[in-house]
Amino acid sequence: MLLLTSIWFLFVKDQQGIGGQTVYENIKSKLDSLKEHPDVTNGINTLEIGFDTLLNEIDQALNSIQRDQQQETKIAKPKLEEPISNSFSIYNIELGDSRTEVESLAGAAKRSSYNEYGVKWFAYHENYQNFFMASFDEDDKVTGLYTNQDLLSSKQGIKIGSHMDEVLNMLGEPSTKIQKGHISYQLDHNNEYHLFDLDDSFVTVFYDKHEEDSVTAVQIISADLEQQKTAFYSAESHELKEGFEYQLFDLTNAARVVHGLPFLSWNEAVKETARDHSMDMAQNQYFNHTNLEGQSPFDRMKEDNISFRAAGENLAAGQLSSIFAHEGLMNSLGHRENILQPDFEALGVGVAFDSDSRPYYTENFLAN
């Protein structure tokens, strides 16, 4: 069973935007000078409190300005061409292309992390614009591709934004099951995605329920790579846990950029809080924002000395990968609102596996 749930909490009023970096530096300088003045020693504690509050507000405003500036630098999208050898390409890259070809088009990868196939996803982007991921075999040939941005082209004319009916008309009936070893697994897609067996590869087309069932993402996995994965869920490992965490973080930021929002920073401390909750749920076989000790996400963050003025939590369990978890979260309104919340500034993702290798995902969002 696939599970999703979300929660959000804001406990400080919205802050008004203010000035730039020079204003912040000038006030800090004045505060430092004031502290050294002999005539104000008796009132310095009160003054410090007032200035600290002001500096905190300016810090928040500066963060907002810097995040807005991220969006001002627009990276040109490549001119997309029809695939040559396969039905689909991403960023004009097809299965079987070389790593050299990929990096000549997209530059060096920003991150590499292990996925459920036992190989690494390499993430390519510029400030999460033109975001896609690719995997390679031992000969540095592309074996997997994924994007949730407008980088898809196909011989059938399917692209990001195409309607589900158009996909089905062009590609025919999707697969309803997938074979792993001697076991056939039924796919529970609920029309949120469809799997197609094309060109000696498996193409998963994801749809956005909140955008009229339009294509929102595509994953392409070579048949050879898919057959290397002999079980439905991949065995737990530290590398896979960390891989799922970073992949869910990157996917979230790529989605935010698509919707005109600044990307989030990684928060290592709240990642530990999130991972602890995923581990608790996996080990004790429950699924809830409130843990068995009655603590909310906000209680857990405070206990871990994490400060915030706004916070939110998304939970998912049972999805095959961070890609499936993210696409499912985006199709659930409460989770989508957390992912696309303009006020959030940072994110920590924690993943754990139960005894059946079933993954639990926790996303903790913050604004300071």
Burial of 134 (0-12, 13-18, 19+ CB in 10 A): buried
pLDDT score at 187: 73
Is the pLDDT at 297 greater than 90, yes or no?
Answer: yes
Average pLDDT, the chain: 85
How many domains does the chain divide into?
3
Which domain range does residue 161 map to?
88-228
Residues 165 and 288 in one domain: no
**Is 2:328 a contact under the CB 8 Å cutoff?**
yes
Residue 44 belongs to a domain: yes
User: Tell me: the pLDDT tens digits for 42-89?
Assistant: 444 444 445 445 545 555 555 555 555 555 577 888 899 999 999 999
Instruction: Work out the pLDDT band at 8, boundaries 50, 70, 90.
Output: low
Same domain assignment for residues 95 and 57: no
Do 224 and 246 reside in the same domain of the chain? no
Compute the distance between CA of residue 114 and CA of residue 296 in angstroms, rounded to an integer. Answer: 31
Tokens of 155: 């011989």
36 and 10 in a common domain: yes
CATH number of the domain within which 300 lies: 3.40.33.10
User: What's the average model confidence in pLDDT over 203-208?
Assistant: 97
**78 inside domain:** no
Asked whether residue 97 falls in the same domain as residue 35, the answer is no
* 292: in domain: yes
Q: pTM for the complete prediction? A: 0.82
Q: Are residues 189 and 271 in the same domain?
A: no
Q: Are residues 223 and 254 in the same domain?
A: no
* 100 lies in the same domain as 160: yes
pLDDT value at position 57? 55
pLDDT(287) > 80:
yes
For residue 276, the cross-strand partners are none
Structure token digits, residue 157: 């004319």
Output the DSSP codes for 255-268.
HHHHTT-PPPEE-H
Distance (Å, rounded) from C-alpha 28 to C-alpha 78? 44
251 near 148, Cβ under 8 Å?
yes
Instruction: Give me the residue label for tokens 């998304």.
Output: 314
Higher pLDDT, 268 or 35: 268
Residue 12 has pLDDT above 50, yes or no: no
Name the domain boundary from 10, 38, 69: 69
Q: What is the pLDDT of residue 190?
A: 78
| Residue 209 or residue 78, greater confidence | 209
What are 21's two structure tokens?
């970096």
Say if CB 153 and CB 82 are below 8 A apart.
yes
Same domain, 124 and 223: yes
In a domain, 352, yes or no: yes
Of all residues in the chain, what percent carry a pLDDT higher than 90?
A: 72
Strand partners of residue 178: 185
Supply 206's token pair.
């994801």
Q: Are residues 210 and 258 in the same domain?
A: no
Digit-coded pLDDT (tens) for 148-188: 999 999 999 999 999 999 999 999 999 887 776 666 677 77
The answer to whether 256 touches 117, Cβ cutoff 8 Å, is no
Q: CA 8, CA 10: separation in Å to the nearest integer? A: 7
Please tell me the distance from the alpha carbon of residue 42 to that of residue 339, in angstroms, as a whole number: 47
Q: Does 20 have pLDDT greater than 70?
A: no
Q: Tell me, yes or no, whether 58 and 132 share the same domain.
A: no
Q: 177-180 and 183-186 as β-strands: parallel, antiparallel, unpaired?
A: antiparallel
Task: Name residue 183's beta-bridge partners.
Answer: 180
Same domain? For 223 and 105 the reply is yes
Cβ burial, residue 355 (10 Å; 0-12/13-18/19+): exposed
Is the pLDDT higher at 41 or at 68? Answer: 68
Residue 75 inside a domain? The answer is no
Per-residue DSSP letter, 130: E
- Which residue's entry shows tokens 């790529």? 254
Backbone angles phi, psi at 105, to 5 degrees: -85, -40
Q: Is the dihedral of CA 46, 48, 52, 55 positive or negative?
A: positive
Cβ atoms of 63 and 366 closer than 8 Å: no
- Give the DSSP letter of residue 239: H
93 lies in some domain? yes
- Decide which of 340 and 72 is more confident: 340
